Amino acid sequence: MRRLHDNLILTSAESMWYFIPYFESHGIQWRGVAEEFDLPTDKPKAEAWIPVTSYCLFLNKMSAFCDTEMPLVVGKTVGKSVVEGRWGVIAKEQSFKAILQSLMTNEHRWSRQNNYWLEQISGAWCWCHRGALKPSYPGSQINEWFRVALLLQICRQWLGQDWVPSRLNALTEEHQGKKYGDILLPDTNIRYGQPFMSMELTGVDALEAMTNRSLKSRDISEVRLLAESYCHLPHFTLDWLAALFGVTSKTLYRYFKDHDTSFKEIKKSAVLERSEQLIRDTDEPVSNIAYQMGYKDVSNFNRAIKTMSGSTPAQLRLAFREGASG
């Protein structure tokens, strides 16, 4: 049985309540579907977490009763509420750069399976995201386009109500996402089926890497934790991590050398730690865990884990369970 305390595959129960006003205003019955997926039918009075898989399956089934633009309407509405001060994470008088930093820093309050970051792609700053579920998982496309609409609404508060990104990379395949893209961003160059979502922040200057503290001021344990957060990205490299810190790859190389380690060792440890947590604390198929860790081929993932730990993922899971029952 999946342990619901695992911090990688959950979303806030409040995420579900973003959609409830839409359902109720359109006279759509939703409680029976929520019960089908063992989700709450009353809004929690305190912080609560639900499996992101159940949440997506719920959205997928509910979408059959809704208009196509449902996730876009809900995303826009939630984006407005964030701008107006909901959760108290941003304020209108803040700079756009400070807004991005605050939203990324506070993401853990709403989800335990998402990563957001800023990255320069082809010379342009992009707001990027990648979650734990495969984009082919039922309901993932609804969740992604809800998120795109939400981020777009926040950007427009600072960049102008007519602002649109010139380019958007979407995780969903074209046959899943085009119906949403054509409605929300008809004039944007959208590439589907990408390794992660990225929204080009057209016309935005003076941004910087996600981390705003100097590398020298950071303890190596803090760097390891950051690596654990991003090691699953398909393009997690020394150059990419250096850019995240706003330093050169040579500076980061020297930093690791001064701490008697290397990027290779940091990445190996982070990948193994995160993989073992998923293998130990969830019932996710190894193929799903491989995707979450940035591997397209499960056999490559199996070989990598065996090289690092001496055991395959299946052997590790068996050992964890025998240890827990012993």
**Where are any strands of DSSP class E within 132-243?**
167-169, 189-191, 197-200
Residues 251 and 321 in one domain: yes
Cα 119 from Cα 194, distance rounded (Å):
15
Same-domain pairing of 170 and 314: no
Q: Read off the pLDDT of each residue in 151-162 and give the average, rounded to a whole number.
A: 93
pLDDT band of residue 3 (cuts 50, 70, 90) is: very low
The most confident of the ranges 12-26, 197-211, 266-280, 292-306 is 12-26
Q: What is the reported pTM? A: 0.77
Last residue of one domain, picked from the residues 136, 166, 200? 200
40 and 183 share one domain: yes
Please give the pLDDT value at position 167.
96
Backbone φ, ψ for residue 191 (5° rounding): -110, 125
Asked whether residue 130 carries a pLDDT value surpassing 90, the answer given is no
pLDDT of 42: 93
Residues 48 and 126 in one domain: yes
- What is the distance between the alpha carbons of residues 35 and 218, in angstroms, rounded to a whole number? 46
**Residue 214: per-residue pLDDT:** 64
- Lowest average pLDDT, out of 36-40, 178-182, 220-224, goes to 220-224
Q: Which helix (H) or strand (E) holds 81?
A: helix 70-83
Q: How far apart are CA 24 and CA 187, in angstroms?
A: 32
At residue 138, the pLDDT reads 96
The residue whose two tokens read 């730990």 is: 309
Q: Is residue 1 part of a domain?
A: no
Q: Is residue 4 part of a domain?
A: no
Range with the largest mean pLDDT of 117-131, 182-196, 228-242: 182-196
Q: At which of 167, 200, 233 does a domain end?
A: 200
Domain range for 25: 10-200
Neighbours of 272 (CB within 10 A): 19
Question: How far from 83 is each of 78, 79, 146, CA to CA, in Å?
Answer: 9, 6, 16
- Give me the pLDDT at residue 89, please: 78
Mean pLDDT of 295-305: 91
Q: Give the pLDDT band of residue 6 (cuts 50, 70, 90).
A: very low
Does residue 306 carry a pLDDT above 90? yes
Domain check: are 173 and 263 in the same one?
no
Q: pLDDT tens, 105-123?
A: 777 677 767 778 888 888 8
What pLDDT shows up at residue 295?
87
Domain with 220 in it: what CATH number? 1.10.10.60
Q: Name the pairing type of β-strands 167-169 and 189-191.
A: parallel
What's residue 212's pLDDT? 46
Q: Do 110 and 157 share a structural domain?
A: yes
- Same domain? 196 vs 248: no
How many domains would you assign to the chain? 2
- CATH code, domain with 175: 3.90.1520
Asked if residue 257 and residue 159 are part of one domain, the reply reads: no
Residue 139 has pLDDT above 90, yes or no: yes
Domain end, chosen from 168, 200, 232, is at 200
Residues in CB range of 49: below 8 A, 6 or more apart: 4, 10, 11, 12, 13, 112
Task: Please give the backbone phi and psi of residue 53, each rounded to the nearest 5 degrees, phi first.
Answer: -65, -45
State yes or no: pLDDT of 36 exceeds 80: yes
> What's the average model confidence in pLDDT over 173-188?
97
Share the mean pLDDT of the chain. 87
CA distances 12 to 46, 125, 234, 314, Å, are 11, 29, 26, 30
pLDDT grade for 216, boundaries at 50, 70 and 90: confident
How do residues 49-91 score in pLDDT, each as one tens digit?
898 899 999 999 999 999 999 999 999 999 999 888 877 778 7
List C-alpha distances in Å: 85 to 96, 101, 176, 221, 289. Answer: 15, 16, 32, 34, 36
Residue 2 within any structural domain of the chain: no
Which tens digit of pLDDT belongs to each residue from 223-260? 887 788 788 887 789 988 887 777 889 999 999 999 99
Q: CA neighbours within 13 Å on the CB side: how many for 3?
A: 12
Structure-token pair, residue 18: 């973003």
